[in-house]
Amino acid sequence: MSTPSVWVQLYYDGKGEEGYPIKIRPIPEDVADLAKEVKVERPNALSHCDAADLSVYSPGTKPPFSQDNAVDPGDDVPPSTTSKNPLIVVAPQPQRDDHTDAFARIEKKLDDLASVDVPMSEATSHFASSLLEDLKVKITVLPPNTDPGEGQVQTYSWGDNEHEIDGQPGCKQILEKEILPLSVNDQEYALYDARSQSLRLQAGKRKSNGFSDLAVGPRISMDFAETTAKDIMLSYTDALVELKRAKSNLKLGQLLLQLVSLSEVSENRQGVLVLGTDCATKWRLLHFSDYNRIMVQPYKHGKKCIADFKTLMENCTMRKEANVPPEKLAIIHEDTGVENDIKMGEFGMEETSKDKAIARETKLRKLASALEYCYGETLEVPAWAKASESCRSYFV
């Protein structure tokens, strides 16, 4: 003879049936014990409430459920139930986790935590090379050019505490005297202040923004852009000049990123070039020798550097037409799946402590931003956690 049983159907108050009817055997002594057995049988569905929070109703009771119609906990369990005509057990709705949506928003905001955003002015050679590797761009650093050139270039005397912004007018005058007149494709060229022109570059999880000091381009187009259309000035720019004061070193990472970012917006594409100098003892040219190959040429003498700069400028259109990818390569950003042949070991560029410190600070800033977005609280990265404080070699 089989043991008597009872069928029950679980409901969430205000929501309807939750799962299929379940059978409880043997029949509990009273309704209160039945509620305990239902709690045991459906531990996940009822994890948010106790057995005492459950209300039991006779078979056939339809929602909405009223406490007035519930079976008293001390009563016997109503008989004659089947899977098609079960007792009704109503549980309170699970409380909505107030943090669930917040966590989801934070997770979405932190999705790019793996990305590293480094200003061009702070970009190390390692960071720039890694970003360019994602773009399939290779780098060749040539031996220093020691040719003195013809004559002596005028130099700028930097004050002890003079910043690049203070020395820009004087350096601009020197460069104008050395470079101009310059004619390219029968167009007269000139130098312009480029400090308001934003440069941007991104590849994979690495991105960088920055500015340069001077822009070189055709006078008619650049005059128009400077007066009425500053947003398209870089489209007309064929070269950038990055100035450094006497006490500061030229930064290969910064110059590389400037060149590639300019090539993406300039009409001359891979025909553009970048000059890095302090108008005294530091001279360096960067340009594309192929659609995905950058040549970095340091100079000992400014006169030779200026002469090569002018030659490259005069041939910028020809180099643009020559430095195009093969037809099978749509764009240089395309990931062909072939291992890139630029290796950090070739340049001895292991990841530095500064790279790691900047990456840590970037993650902390993104976390602060995500928390502010979700909770409205403004958070600041503490001073001791900033890269400039946590890395002793940050300013080296």
Tell me, what's the pLDDT at 339?
Answer: 40
Cβ(77)–Cβ(27) below 8 Å: yes
C-beta neighbour count of 168 within 10 angstroms: 18
For 334-351, what is each residue's pLDDT tens digit? 444 444 444 444 444 556
> Residue 160: which pLDDT band, with cuts at 50, 70 and 90?
confident
As a whole number, mean pLDDT of residues 92-121 equals: 70
Q: 252-265 and 125-134 are packed helices; what angle lies between their axes, rounded to 10 degrees?
A: 30
Q: Name the 3-class secondary structure at 81.
A: coil
Tell me, what's the pLDDT at 341?
Answer: 40
For 248-270, what is each residue's pLDDT tens digit? 899 999 999 999 999 999 999 99
- The pLDDT of residue 311 is above 90: yes
As a whole number, mean pLDDT of residues 66-70 equals: 87
Q: If you ran DSSP here, which 8-state letter would residue 64 be given?
A: S
C-beta neighbour count of 230 within 10 angstroms: 11
Q: Which own/partner pairs from 45-53 qualify as long-range (CB within 8 Å, at least 24 positions apart)?
A: 45/10, 45/18, 45/19, 45/91, 46/10, 46/91, 48/92, 48/94, 48/95, 49/91, 49/92, 53/91, 53/92
- Residues contacting residue 70 through CB under 8 Å, at least 6 positions apart: 55, 56, 57, 90
Tell me, what's the pLDDT at 191?
Answer: 95
Listed by start position, the domains of the chain span: 6-91, 121-348
Tell me, what's the pLDDT at 334?
Answer: 43
Tell me, what's the pLDDT at 34?
Answer: 94
Tell me, what's the pLDDT at 364?
Answer: 78
Q: Which amino acid is at 329?
A: L
- Residues contacting residue 350 through CB under 8 Å, at least 6 positions apart: 126, 344
As a whole number, mean pLDDT of residues 141-149 equals: 94
User: For residues 197-209, b (16+ Cβ closer than 10 Å) or e, as one string?
Assistant: bebebebeebbbb
- The pLDDT of residue 312 is above 80: yes
Tell me, what's the pLDDT at 366?
Answer: 74
Helices H / strands E in the chain, number of each? 12, 16
> 6-91 sits in which CATH class?
alpha beta
For 264-309, what is each residue's pLDDT tens digit? 999 999 999 999 999 999 999 999 998 889 999 999 999 999 999 9
Tell me, what's the pLDDT at 15?
Answer: 83
How far apart are alpha carbons 257 and 125 in whole angstroms? 10
Tell me, what's the pLDDT at 101?
Answer: 63
As a whole number, mean pLDDT of residues 129-135 equals: 90
As a whole number, mean pLDDT of residues 4-21 equals: 89
